[in-house]
Structure 1
């Protein structure tokens, strides 16, 4: 980061750029980034898409620096709207492009990419019943009990001598059918993003209006209104983030008290933005190849006979 003098004497400007050259030479040439207020205007004769028509004295110094140290001036490198080029506005309302970014020239890295458009078939999604609602509604509990009894008891009377395993299977089936008939399905709640909060959207709309007014009429009063709207939006966003964080912390405490440790860790991972670990996939381009890889793996793991020096060797019990 640096800041150049605007209307300084020639020797001061030269000394400043000599110091800047020495600083650049002390840094590794790779991945170099020089950002600063150079007070330099780059004209159309020296760049592709600049904001100004002519290059001033500081602009000439900047061009010489970039040429000497093999750097690119990225600011006028791409075509942009005029409103995206200027970086400073004077008290009189005149706009300038004085701030620039210098980057080291890098080698182009190319790669050949091949896309696989195969879609993995997903199995049917298991219904998630709202058991919390079930525990709090006595009417649902009574209906569920009646449904299980009506489905299970008649068959129990018809086959009194059946095996316990068969009876247990019918009981499980009766509970599943009763749950599908009586217990409501848990509603999926869409995760609300911070930027979707009504306070943030209102602040963003207010900021856009203030910015539009400032672009049309670049007065100091409009600039102050624009800066105030930007500050207000930032404070609102921080407040929404803090409210969401405090709410999740309370939910973690509540889940811990109720011994819902899975829910607690899910909330903690959400708070810390920790992602789930990537699960490894078995190598193989086809199903037959993957099965062969599995077979060879377990054959090597389990197929070798145990190493025993003597047949009568006693194996210690564990």
Structure 2
């Protein structure tokens, strides 16, 4: 580390992102799978948006929520993966203090939005299965828009303290962030002050959002399971349960990687730093990659429309 990065300062104008500490020599090789997955994520999510826009029969709440999730995945990955690749390929490590805080805010914000949309999708499945006759009157376009707005407002408000708390801290040790983006806990650990408030708020936000959203999702699926078992045949059970598999896979992809990444970075003191940063990278790329694959393969309308587009092109 250069001497300029060790000198004392109180208000750094720039931070230096290391990428994946300890694996600098392998950055080029690591970039290959991450670049490939990022390309798949962008292509897959834009395909979802394109198909839903082109197909009038998909203009229903379930696919509106799916489009919201696709937009969130695109924006979320765009705030982190291009920065990672620019470090790996061009050694572009500097980021201004303001840009760092902005990146921190939007990553936290869109992370919360993804969880909120999964709750909305669980509610949509609950109404469609438990109250099918009231689905169209309950989840109108206006209601869907209000749910989307509520998800945005909740996430935007909960993410506001992150940059404000980070800005108030004095940074007098180093401006080198051992990460590929301005992750909240990685930034505040550079401060030469008590960071317990920032750390506790980050943990509260994680547990509050996932805990609350997880409870709503669990309640929805308890009601769904009760409704499924009231159907007379196993074929009906399997058909209805099959419509929920995609959503359950999407929940697993987001929550498992999010919780594991956040808790390990806070409490995995004996875990190598490069492993923690790699896990964080997995969290930011795996859900955007898996969501369009899961819904494309498991959702008959999307898969059928995609095959139809390719068939028409070939003929």
The two structures have a TM-score, normalised by structure 1, of 0.23
Q: Which is greater in Rg?
A: 1
The two structures have a TM-score, normalised by structure 2, of 0.23
Would you tell me which structure has more helix in proportion to its own residues? 2
